[in-house]
Amino acid sequence: MNTVSRLSSALAVGLALGFAADAAGQGVARECPQPRFTDKAPDEYYNRPNPLTATEANLAEGERLYLGDNPRRVFCATCHGVKGDGKGPLSNQFDPPPRDFSCDKTIKDVPDGHLFWIIRYGSPETSMPPHRKFKDEQIWQLVLYLRHLAR
């Protein structure tokens, strides 16, 4: 079985388990704010401001990237949930659980550059993978959308 087939199978099982747990009211409880597990990003990223503004177009593109448009791929919402609440279909498979972006206290003090770095390079000691295929502009749009979810 190749990597894509394994990932698709894992996603299907995770979706089924996640929906079953959610339907049974057994969603994973979330802390707000959640503890942080990611080391500080290097200064050249950590202190970087988002060059984009929260325009309707940038937020719409951030949402599109977050929710995904290809059911055969894993997107942000697969783990972090459609609402950004950390309750995606695969969320119950991770320790620590996916970040709850709907809790403004969780990310309010996290600089945009740090979020950019986490999206680009992943978060060691967690299940957050690197997303090196995103262009810089796409990552900044995702950062804007994550901030939007926290309102």
Cβ–Cβ < 8 Å for 128, 118: yes
Query: Is the pTM higher than 0.75?
Result: yes
Model confidence pLDDT, tens digit, residues 50-81: 999 999 999 999 999 999 987 778 899 999 99
Q: What is the mean pLDDT of the chain?
A: 82
DSSP string covering 60-82, please? HHHHHHHH-S-TTS--HHHHH-T
Which residue from 54, 107, 101 is spatially nearest to 81, judged by alpha carbons?
101
Domains of the chain: 3-149 (1.10.760.10)
Model confidence pLDDT, tens digit, residues 15-54: 333 433 343 334 444 678 777 778 899 999 999 999 999 9
First vs last C-alpha separation in the chain? 42
For the record, the structure tokens of 92 come out as: 């119950």
Rg (alpha carbons) of the chain, rounded to whole number: 15
Cβ–Cβ < 8 Å for 119, 108: no
Task: Give the contacts of 114 (CB within 8 A, at least 6 positions apart).
Answer: 38, 40, 41, 45, 46
The secondary structure element, H or E, covering residue 20 is helix 3-23
